Structure 1
Amino acid sequence: MELLILALVGLGASFVKSAFGLGAGVLFGPVLALFLEPRLAMGMTAPIMFLSSVAALGAHWRRWDWPLLRRLLPTALFGLALGSYFLAWTPATSVRRAIGLAALAFAAAQTVRLQRQDGEAPDPPDGPVRAARERPALQQAAVAALLGFGGGIVSGIAHSGGLFFSMYLLPRLGKAAFVASLTLTLFVVDTFRLVSYWYLDVLESRHLALSLPCLPLMLLGGRLGKALGGRLSDRGFARALILMIAGTGVALLVR
């Protein structure tokens, strides 16, 4: 049963990431936490999230922005350690509620972002990026520290920190650099999450062994996502995903 669950998660994660550039952990982590003990759900899916990040890294090699990542990653890793400890030592009911709140926060933020995109006139190509880059250095460092810390905590609890990282990177980078920088950020976070989960006994050796047979399905999911991504409506899919995440978050809170 565990192998079947991981295979489906691997297929879905690769498809979603390839087709729409979305971190699939924000959906699959909360959904699995509905049916499994939260520590088990997060431990089982951590290797899959790591492998999906490795698969995506090559396509964006060396296009990332190191100066921005140097501000973001230190507090992200500190927050990740705290989030991992919370997952490991907090009762399952409290963890489910925390995951549910993270899912609802993600759904709310994504809904606001989509509404703003629908209601605003297009900006000049480099307008928002230039404005964000011209803010005082101390202010930029504070924003990076805050969003990195929040993203790290949520990543440790529910694989959902990409929202916080995107809030920092997106206004400051063009599309190619943003995707590459977010991909590298998630790769670093996913790598250190494996270490922290292993140290805290959230991740077990059988989870690593079970993830290896999922590689062919992950490759298949990536190919399907690349083939179908241009035929599917990004906004329609995003809205459906938001509804699923919000519904899962509510279910976790009331369980």
Structure 2
Amino acid sequence: MIALDPWAWAALGLAAVTIGVSKTALPGGSILAIALFAAVLPARTSTAAMLLLLMVGDVFALIAYRRHAHWPTLLRLAPAVVAGLVVGFAFLAIAGDGIVRRAIGVILLVMIAVTLWRRRAQHRSQTDATARGGIVLSGVYGTLGGFTTMVANAGGPVMSMYFLATRTPVQVFLGTSAWFFAIINVVKVPFLAGLGLFPGQVLLMDAVLAPLVVIGAVIGLVVAKRLDQRLFDRIVIGLTIAGAVYLLF
């Protein structure tokens, strides 16, 4: 087992619960978990350790929203996402832990900016219908989503932007996202395993944290319709900014 201080275990426990809640109730909320994992663990190790917990959360997301996926959208994104995954894998293979750590910090800040911009866009005029299914649109977002999810498990906000741009209905958004990340996370496993990022210590730590992901997912399913989304988002964004700055400096 990785030797960690009590405060570090508390942070990872909070991150695990957040992963579960984000998968069933608050898409994008896992950005807080990314910051907590990267603050406690070595950057590359944090990416691998969090991936396995995300896969636990994916099971509950699929149970809740599996019937609402739009498969043509997934197929359209696939080539660009694969390209992004390969680029992200190459970056992890050649970059030192310090560089990856700072990269995660930058990615977090960019993802927060993207999320805030997306919310402002929701109050503007609707996106031009011609954006739906555009090859350029799917190529840009797919590549960036593949890269960010490989390097930092931070593809959620990017793909949310894509679904917004294509004016995807809410239920289809949730179902397509659930399948997208369930498939992508499985694909990422052999890449990270090839870099030796799943030692026994990481697997044991994830085994301890996995029940907290389940608890978070159940909480998300129960209170999804009762959560004060605006307040929660403000807390998540504030804590994530603090975590990103910590990673950078």
TM-score by length of 2: 0.86
Could you say what secondary structure the match of 1:21 adopts?
A: coil
Query: Matches of residues 90-169 of structure 1 in structure 2 within 5 Å?
Result: 90-117=95-122, 119-120=123-124, 128=127, 131-132=128-129, 134-135=130-131, 140-169=134-163
- Check whether the contact 2:114–2:158 (CA below 8 A) recurs between aligned residues: no
Percent of residue pairs bearing the same amino acid type:
27
**Letter matched to residue 178 of structure 1:** F
- Check whether the contact 2:24–2:60 (CA below 8 A) recurs between aligned residues: no
- 2:245 paired with 1:250: yes
Q: Which residue in the other structure is 1:33 paired with? A: 38
1:88–1:202 CA distance, 2 compared to 1 (3 A): farther
User: Residues of 2 paired with 1:238 and 1:165: CA distance?
Assistant: 17
- 2:226 paired with 1:221: no
User: Residues of 2 paired with 1:71 and 1:40: CA distance?
Assistant: 31
**Letter matched to residue 148 of structure 2:** V
Between 223-232 and 61-70, report the one with greater CA deviation.
223-232
1:227–1:112 CA distance, 2 compared to 1 (3 A): same
* Structure 2 stretches lacking a partner, 5+ long: none
Q: Which residue in the other structure is 1:64 paired with? A: 69
User: Residues of 1 paired with 2:132 and 2:146: CA distance?
Assistant: 24
- Check whether the contact 1:77–1:192 (CA below 8 A) recurs between aligned residues: no
Q: Which residue in the other structure is 2:27 paired with? A: 21
User: Residues of 1 paired with 2:186 and 2:236: CA distance?
Assistant: 26
Q: Tell me how far 1:69 sits from its aligned partner.
A: 1.1
RMSD: 2.4
Could you say what secondary structure the match of 1:62 adopts?
A: helix
- 2:171 paired with 1:176: yes
- 2:246 paired with 1:240: no
User: Residues of 2 paired with 1:38 and 1:136: CA distance?
Assistant: 36
Q: Tell me how far 1:143 sits from its aligned partner.
A: 1.2
1:12–1:171 CA distance, 2 compared to 1 (3 A): same
**1:45-97 Cα shifts (integer Å, max 9, x gaps):** 11001111122112222321111111112221221122123123311221112
Q: Which residue in the other structure is 1:194 paired with? A: 189
Between 195-204 and 3-12, report the one with greater CA deviation.
3-12
User: Residues of 2 paired with 1:100 and 1:147: CA distance?
Assistant: 20
- Check whether the contact 2:17–2:212 (CA below 8 A) recurs between aligned residues: yes
Between 213-222 and 103-112, report the one with greater CA deviation.
213-222
**1:214-238 Cα shifts (integer Å, max 9, x gaps):** 4432222222223333333101111
- Check whether the contact 1:64–1:181 (CA below 8 A) recurs between aligned residues: yes
Query: Matches of residues 200-211 of structure 1 in structure 2 within 5 Å?
Result: 200-211=195-206
* Structure 1 stretches lacking a partner, 5+ long: none
User: Residues of 1 paired with 2:205 and 2:41: CA distance?
Assistant: 16
Q: Tell me how far 1:159 sits from its aligned partner.
A: 0.6
- Check whether the contact 1:110–1:242 (CA below 8 A) recurs between aligned residues: no
User: Residues of 2 paired with 1:100 and 1:136: CA distance?
Assistant: 31
Could you say what secondary structure the match of 2:197 adopts?
A: coil
**Letter matched to residue 135 of structure 2:** A
User: Residues of 2 paired with 1:32 and 1:245: CA distance?
Assistant: 11
User: Residues of 1 paired with 2:164 and 2:120: CA distance?
Assistant: 17
